[in-house]
Amino acid sequence: MPGTPNLGARTSKPGNHWMLYVLIAFIGGLLTFAGARAQQRATDDATFRKLIDGYCAAWSTGDPNNVAKYYAKEDGLIFYDVTPFSYGSWKEYDAGVRKELLDQMQTGSLTAGKDLKVTRRGNVAWTTVPMHLSAKMKDGKTIDTPVRYTGIWEKKGKTWLLVHEHLSAPLGG
């Protein structure tokens, strides 16, 4: 019949469009996931920058009572410090750092560098950051050394607490 469209001339079948829709949905899901992950990473970086800066400010007061809020209090948690070596709980750490360092220190400062790295897996995160320790001791000596810092944090409720940390100074530092 003249003027009648040729329905058989269609190049694609209507049922094949679902594949395109699935592909678009998949790509959209990937973009959403990547965006959410980037946003979570930015939030984590800001959260731990604030924690690390507060941690350093608290230690710089020379009073472990000010820094206690950053630590989990369970027995058996290991904290490696620059002196003497390690502590098996916050209670040990508090007493040991007072005796080994703070009681002999006149003034001190602990500052975190800019190169903070944060890795988070659920309610556990680890941070690494170079730090700098400077102190004037009561005997007139001074300490001025870079410090390598690694902290393992666990989220308990809404609060991130240190469950392990490792501080070390390079040889000759």
Domain assignment of residue 35, given as a range: 14-168
What is the rounded distance in angstroms from the CA atom of residue 163 to the CA atom of residue 146? 23
Name the token pair of 19: 């594949």
H or E element in which residue 118 lies: strand 117-121
In a domain, 130, yes or no: yes
At residue 36, the pLDDT reads: 47
Place of tokens 């003034």: 107
In a domain, 110, yes or no: yes
At residue 82, the pLDDT reads: 80
In a domain, 6, yes or no: no
In a domain, 149, yes or no: yes
Query: What's the mean pLDDT in 29-38?
Result: 53
* Residue 152, beta-bridge partner list: 126, 164
Whether the per-residue pLDDT at 107 is higher than 60: the answer is yes
Nearest in space to 57 (alpha carbons), one of 95, 111, 14, 123: 111
Q: What is the DSSP string of 69-115?
A: GGB---TT--EE-SSSSEESSHHHHHHHHHHHTGGGEEEEEEEE-S-
Q: What is the CATH number of the domain that holds 113?
A: 3.10.450.50
pLDDT in tens, 58-87: 999 999 999 999 999 999 999 998 877 799
Contact criterion met (CB below 8 Å) for 143 and 133: yes
Lowest mean pLDDT among 4-8, 25-29, 83-87: 4-8
Q: Which of 108 and 170 is assigned the larger pLDDT?
A: 108
Report the domain count for the chain. Answer: 1
In a domain, 20, yes or no: yes
* Residue 161, beta-bridge partner list: 154
In a domain, 7, yes or no: no
In a domain, 83, yes or no: yes
In a domain, 91, yes or no: yes
